[in-house]
Amino acid sequence: MTDIKRVGVVGCGLMGAGIAEVCARAGVPVTVVERDAEAARAGLLRLTRSLDRAAAHGKLGAERREAAAALITVVDQLEALHDHDLVIEAVAEDQRLKVEVFTRLDALITQDHTLLATNTSAIPVIRLAAATGRPDRVIGLHFFNPVPVLRLVELVPSLLTSPSTTARAEDFVTRTLGKEVVRTRDKAGFVVNALLVPYLLAAIRMVETGSATVEDVDRGMVLGCAHPLGPLALADLIGLDTTRAIAESLYAEFREPQYSPPPLLSRMVEAGLLGRKSGQGFHTYDSQPERERAAPASQR
């Protein structure tokens, strides 16, 4: 039986909200922290709507939906996490921002057994663990979007993560949350993004050079390789800003051309064309854009 009874999540964007939701649906009380009261209200609304969609689609019964909602608390004070058993950082993919969060968490956590985890997509875990006085209790838990649907979590111990931390984190993810894990060394991109991002960047370069249209690139991979989404639609789903940030982390570590963000990707991010969350990326989306916040307690 896991000893993790209370979970904290820092950030209530797409990933933070998804992580909080799967914890609550597994019967674990979860406290989510956002940067201010307005962001906390928006985060709670995101969580409520997600639970409502799951119930409307028959994936969550009415009683389970109410039980999960009752286990979620969204606040705007990081100090609320001082006594939780596991705290998962899920802020924007920005190393400076993540280091700031880990520094603050290290100062306020009062229990020696608390685990600190990061949901980073590509930043080496040791860089965040080094900002704390407890690097042996810091680990990477990389979930995938949408968290309630996708079963995979990358388990990423750093060079200083203790075996007991790794075992406790894996036990919680597999036994409590019912997810599958793959273990990976602590290097930029881990397993999935180290393979996926060069593919996405190659598709962007193909459009950039005029080799094929956006529509033909995506149709080619859907119809020719049976992928559920084409690479450009997938980049839109991930967020073009997040895709660029992951690519930059990979390129900074390996200095290989395949990881270098194409100029077109950078120009689109600078123009605010971020994909689904802004309503426009390589494709246009009818739904209202989800404005993501980049602050110490937010997540894209």
182-215 per-position pLDDT tens digit: 999 999 999 999 999 999 999 999 999 999 999 9
Question: What digits encode the pLDDT tens for the residues 161-173?
Answer: 999 999 999 999 9
Q: Are residues 173 and 211 both part of a single domain? A: no
For residues 170 and 197, membership in a common domain is answered with: no
Q: How many Cβ atoms are within 10 Å of 226's Cβ, its own excluded?
A: 7
Q: What is the pTM of this model?
A: 0.89
CA dist., res. 76 & res. 243, Å (int)? 28
* Cα 136 to Cα 129: distance, rounded to the nearest angstrom: 8
Can you tell me the distance from the alpha carbon of 125 to that of 142, in angstroms, rounded to the nearest whole number?
11
Number of domains in the chain: 2
Closest of 246, 133, 130, 141 to residue 189, by C-alpha: 246
Range of the structural domain that residue 253 is part of = 192-270
Which residues are known to be catalytic? 121, 142, 154, 193
Is 106 in a helix, a strand, or coil? helix
* Domain's final residue, options 183, 201, 216: 183
Residues 288, 280 contacting (CB under 8 angstroms): no
**Cα–Cα distance between 151 and 144 in angstroms, integer?**
8
Q: How confident is the model at residue 286 (pLDDT cuts 50, 70, 90)?
A: confident
**What burial class does residue 163 get, using C-beta atoms within 10 Å of its C-beta: 0-12 exposed, 13-18 middle, 19+ buried?**
exposed
Contact between 142 and 163 (Cβ < 8 Å)? no
Is 169 found in the same domain as 59? yes
Model pLDDT, residue 32: 98
Same domain, 58 and 97: yes
Q: 290 falls in which pLDDT band (50, 70, 90)?
A: very low
3-state secondary structure 166-199: HHHHHHHHHHHCCCEEEECCCCCCCCHHHHHHHH
Which residues, in sequence order, are bridge partners of residue 31?
A: 8, 73
Structure tokens at 270: 């600078």
Please check whether residues 39 and 174 belong to one and the same domain: yes
Indicate if the pLDDT at residue 289 is higher than 80: no
Which one-letter DSSP state was computed for residue 262? P
Mark whether 162 and 245 lie in a shared domain.
no
Does residue 52 sit in the same domain as residue 111? yes
Residues 226 and 155 in one domain: no
Largest Cα–Cα separation, the chain: 57
Same domain, residue pair 250 and 168: no
Which residues are within 8 A (CB) of 150 and not within 5 positions of it... i.e. 6 or more apart? 143, 144
Interval 106-161: pLDDT, tens: 999 999 999 999 999 999 999 999 999 999 999 999 999 899 999 999 999 999 99
Residues 39 and 171 reside in one and the same domain: yes
| CA distances for 211 relative to 185, 203, 249, angstroms | 36, 10, 27
**What is the domain-level CATH number for residue 177?**
3.40.50.720
CA–CA gap between residue 281 and residue 214 (Å, rounded) = 11
**What φ, ψ does residue 86 adopt, rounded to 5°?**
-140, 130
